[in-house]
Amino acid sequence: MVSSITTGYATNPYAAAAAGTTATKATAADTASTSAAKTSGSSVNVTLSAEAQAALAAQTDSRTIDTVVASARTALDKLLSDAKATSALKDGKATISLAGLDRRSLYAIASNKGGKFPIEEQVVATLQMKATRDASLSAPASAMRVTGDHAGLYKAALANLEVAGPEEKAMGQWAKDKAALTEGLQQATDKPGVAPSGIDGDPVAAYLKDTGGVVASPRTRDIKAVASDVRSVLDKQYAAATGDGLATDPDDGTIDFSKFDNRSLAAVALNKGAQFSEHEVAQAAAEVKTRNRDSISSSYKSAKGSDNSAFGKNLITQYTAMSDEERQAAGWTPALYDKMVALQNLSDKLASLFNPDGSVNTGGTSLLDYL
C-alpha cells in the first residue's frame, strides 16, 4: 500500500502569485510520498506542523531572487489594486495584508531587493514577518508563563529562524539571532525554570518584553478593558507585597512595570478609565520613556553597518507597529510620522543617485529636477 504525507498547504491566490511554488510544493509532497512507499508496506499519514511545512517549502524553493522579486511585485500590485490603495500605508496603518506571502517573498520586500519596493511596502512586509514570528512563539510563551521553562520557547524561535530563505540567512543579523537563540536554549536547558540572561540581542527576551509577562493585551481590545485588567493585577501585587490582603498603592516605592506589555503600560500612563493614582501614572510613564529610548537605541545599533536608510526604516516600522494609545503615551505624533516618511523618501532618492563606484547617476536629469 502507498504511504502518504499530508502537508496541509493552503491555497491562497496571493501566496501563489508571490511564491510561484505551488507546483514545487506538490512535487515535494509527491516525492516524499513515493519515497515512503518504497520503505513501508503499510499506510501512514503524517501531518506536518506549520513550521515543518514552511521548512519543506524553503528547502524545495529553487527560484532565483529575480523571480522572487518579480512575483512579489506582481502580488503587491494586485493587493493594492484590490484594496483601491496607492500605498501600503496610510496615516501609519497598513492598507493591505501580506499574510498570504511566503517568508522569502516577504524578506525580499522588507529588504527592498532589486529596489522594487517603496518604504511603505518594506515596513508592512517587516511587520508581517514579525507577526508570523510572534504567532509561532505565542503557544510556547504561554506554556513558559505557566511552567517557567524557557527551553520550548527558544526551540520554537530557532525553528522559525531556520525557515528563512538563502538571502536572509546570508545576512549578519540572521547569524547574530541564531547565536543568541542557541545560547538562550543552552542556558534554559542547563537551568530549567531560570530565564536566560546576559545575551546580547536576544530575540526571545525582546519578544517577552514586547508581549508582557503579566498582562498581554491584543491591540484590538478596548483600552479601558485593558486598564481594568492592569488595575486588577496591580491590586493583587500590592496585597501580596503587604501581606495583609490590602491593595494599597506603595507611593514610597517603585512599581515593577517591567513585565507589562506596551499597551498595558500606555493604559496606565494615559490613566484610561481614571483608575490609577498619580504615582502609578508617573511610574508607567517613566517605563514607557525608558522603553522608547531603549527601542530607538536598539534600532540605531541594528542599522549600523547597513545602508544609510536602515535607521529611518526601523523608526517608521516601530511607529506603524504601535497602537494609537502607545503612540500617544510615547509622544509619537502623526506629524512626526509624516516627517519621518518624508525624510526617508528623500534619503532613498539621494541614495539612488549614486552608482556603486560613487559616481552620480541622474538619468539625464539635474539633481534639482530629480528631487
Cβ distance 121 to 76 under 8 Å? Answer: yes
**Integer Cα distance of 238 and 23 in angstroms:** 59
Closest to 216 (Cα-Cα) out of 147, 262, 256: 262
Residue 247 lies inside a defined structural domain of this protein: yes
By DSSP bridging, strand 93-94 and strand 89-90 are antiparallel
| Statement to judge: residues 299 and 362 lie in one domain | no
| Statement to judge: residues 229 and 328 lie in one domain | yes
pLDDT band at 348 (very low <50, low <70, confident <90, very high): low
Task: Identify the residue whose cell numbers are 513585565.
Answer: 259
Residue 269 lies inside a defined structural domain of this protein: yes
| Statement to judge: residues 246 and 339 lie in one domain | no
| Statement to judge: residues 246 and 346 lie in one domain | no
Structure confidence by residue, pLDDT tens digits, 170-210: 999 999 999 999 999 999 999 998 999 999 999 999 888 87
In the chain, % helix, strand, coil (3-state, to 5) comes to: 65, 5, 35
Cell of 203: 530575540
Q: Which domain holds residue 256?
A: 223-332
| Statement to judge: residues 324 and 284 lie in one domain | yes
| Statement to judge: residues 345 and 369 lie in one domain | yes
**Integer Cα distance of 293 and 301 in angstroms:** 12
| Statement to judge: residues 340 and 326 lie in one domain | no
Q: What is the pLDDT of residue 124?
A: 96
| Statement to judge: residues 244 and 289 lie in one domain | yes
Calculate helix-pair angle for 310-321, 334-352, nearest 10 degrees: 150
pLDDT band at 258 (very low <50, low <70, confident <90, very high): confident
**Integer Cα distance of 329 and 289 in angstroms:** 9
**Number of domains comprising the chain:** 2
Question: For residue 286, what is the enclosing H or E element?
Answer: helix 278-303
In this prediction, what percent of the chain has a pLDDT beyond 90?
44
pLDDT of 31 above 70: no
